[in-house]
Structure 1
């Protein structure tokens, strides 16, 4: 997995989106922050596109040092802490001595 620089630009054909954003910017009192809207929208759509399996794979890549914590937190949001807690609890349970329950 390659990691690009933070200066990488995501490019797509904006067409009507660019026109609509420009129009809203011109008519909205004080304008709008188009870049912030784009970042928020892209973050939301990336999160929506992720399956549970994607989330687990992402967290495993993060733990292996292949993905930054910042990118992992961005994609997982509040689930970052929940996933981390679940993994820690599972590890603790796996390490627990259960030999007393053997018959």
Structure 2
């Protein structure tokens, strides 16, 4: 009888540990454990790229530093801008 109780206890402990690991992985994926990490940028105003525009030129036109311009436009490839592409010119980085 004691052997069955031990197996049940081990099984329940295993379920508890697996549940705890699942809870931690879900919390990490939702950002609960992301203290100190940069958040997603939020864009408040955009402009369309015109022929001849460059990232540096747009940043200067809107009085943005290169670092801030890149932070609010993380997915922009400055070597491959195209006409009518939307570029963020005002925003925040959390």
Q: TM-score range by the shorter chain?
A: 0.3 to 0.5
Write 1 or 2 for the structure with the bigger share of strand.
2
Greater radius of gyration (CA): 2
Structure 2 length normalisation: TM-score? 0.32
Structure 1 length normalisation: TM-score? 0.30
